Amino acid sequence: MTDPSREPRALTLRVNGVDHSLAAEPCATLLDVLRDGLGLTGTKKGCDMGACGACTVLVDDRRINACLTLAAMQEGREIVTIEGLADGEDLHPMQQAFIAHDALQCGYCTPGQILSAVGLLAEGRAVDLAQVAEQMSGNLCRCGAHPNILAAIAEVAGLRA
């Protein structure tokens, strides 16, 4: 027996400046639609429970956990993923800073770390190093690159590391 609520529905998501029309189940998360529907696998699935931050994306310039929201809830919003951060071949300053400070090891958490860092700067919350550390607590790095991540953010934010 088919469950009518399982039937995919038409949905338009604006991701990295481009409108994408697709079909998704009503209960599909934004994370699953980005990865499986649009093939934008830069956004990572870590815990899928809002605890690790690997799925962080920007929605209307604010960082959110893509695993905690439904794709249907984000219709009409401006969504930015790691794929949309660089300007052609020119990396975003935060991406460059992560490379310069060796702010990663395995790299799995890195897209979420970078989006969260870009978001906290856009939100005006990078007032000092302690605040940056506090504001990054929603992004875990199991390799333990946190000191280098903070150094990278501090450089872009113009804070003394």
Partner 1 sequence: MRAFDYLRAQTEGEALAAAGQDGAAFIAGGTDLMPLWKAGVAAPGLLIDIGRLPLAEVTARDGGLVFGATARLADIADHPEVRRRHPAIAQAIEASASGQVRNMATLGGALLQRTRCVYFRSGITPCEKLEPGSGCAAVAGENRLHAIFGGGPSCVATHASDLAVALVALDAQVRLRSLAGERVLPLTALYLPAGESPARETVLVPGEMIVAVEVPDAGGRSLYLKIRDRASFEFAVVSVAVALEVADGRVQSVRLAAGGVGTMPWRLRASEAALTGAEAGEAVFRAAAGLAADGAQPLAHNGFKIELLKRTVLRALVQAGDQT
- What residues form DSSP beta bridges with 12? 21
Closer to partner 1 at the Cβ: 68 or 91? 68
| From 12-20, 81-89, 133-141, 146-154, span contacting partner 1 (CB under 8 A) | 133-141
CA distance 13 to 157: 30
Answer for which of 43, 65, 95, 148 binds partner 1 (CB under 8 A) is 65
CA distance 71 to 84: 18
What torsion, rounded to 10 degrees, do the Cα atoms 124, 81, 47, 109 define? -80
Least distance in angstroms from the C-beta of 5 to partner 1: 4
Closer to partner 1 at the Cβ: 40 or 120? 120
133 SS3 class:
helix
Q: What are phi and psi of 150, to 5 degrees?
A: -65, -40
CA distance 111 to 134: 19
Answer for which of 14, 41, 48, 78 binds partner 1 (CB under 8 A) is 48
153, amino acid identity? I
Least distance in angstroms from the C-beta of 92 to partner 1: 19
Q: Residue 129's Cα: distance from chain center in Å?
A: 21
| From 34-42, 79-87, 99-107, 131-139, span contacting partner 1 (CB under 8 A) | 131-139
CA distance 111 to 10: 28
Size of the site for partner 1 (CB under 8 A): 36
State which of positions 1-40 bind partner 1 (CB under 8 A): 3-6, 25-27, 29
Chain contacts with partner 1 (rule: CB under 8 A): 3-6, 25-27, 29, 48-50, 53, 56, 62-65, 67-70, 72-73, 75, 116, 119-120, 123, 125, 133-139
